[in-house]
Amino acid sequence: MKPAFPSVYAILTADLVTGDESAIARTLANAGVGLIQYRDKAASSRTLFEKSARIAHALAGSDVRFIVNDRPDIACLAGAGGTHVGQEDLAVEDARAVCGEAASAGTGASSFWVGVSTHTLDQVGEVAKTSADYIAVGPIFPTSTKKSDLVVGSDFIRRARKLTSKPLVAIGGITVARALEVFRAGANCVAVASDLIAAADPAARAREYLGIAASCCK
């Protein structure tokens, strides 16, 4: 039986994480978070590789899938479990080609995942035709972590759900107060940055999200 898609996706951004990225990654993994992404658009390739490799090492042997934002090459070199690309980045199949046979299967059968950001229903429809392992939709709500004039709202998830059976990851301005609305709209997973990483107790906050997701699946 295919395992359920993780319900909580932690986004570790360089501006939110103070100190050791691998330490917060371990903390979140121990709390039950199933997907963790590292994002640092300003870092040099060497710095991004070194940080990603440390996180990958810290999560080795766990059930957590570690994703590197934007850079499939560094994700593969660092031993990550996948990469996430945007509309201006490499296409899904090209991102897989960077990593060769380990990433060739896609759709959950591969040991290497490729996720894609979408902001319109047309984009969702196009990504649904690819081997992408999940489709991120958003920003659902206004967010301070990524500058965007486009906020799509939770109804966008309902409409996107009709276009694909692939896992949908809701991203953008997600908080504990809004998570239930997002899951009920059809999201498989919530991607959270500020409300999780900047919380006084990130592990406790992660468990709150996991509890909300579990309550929606009863």
Q: Which are the catalytic amino acids? A: 39, 117, 146
Structure token digits, residue 135: 């489709």
For the chain, the 3-state helix, strand and coil shares in percent, each to the nearest 5, are: 40, 15, 40
Helix (H) / strand (E) element for 48: namely helix 45-59
Structure token digits, residue 171: 């991203």
Cα angle vertex 39, ends 37, 43, to 5°? 145
CA–CA dist 83, 70 (Å, integer): 7
- List phi, psi (to 5°) of 66: -100, 130
- Cβ atoms of 209 and 192 closer than 8 Å: yes
Cα angle vertex 36, ends 43, 66, to 5°? 80
Q: Name residue, tokens 């990958």.
A: 56
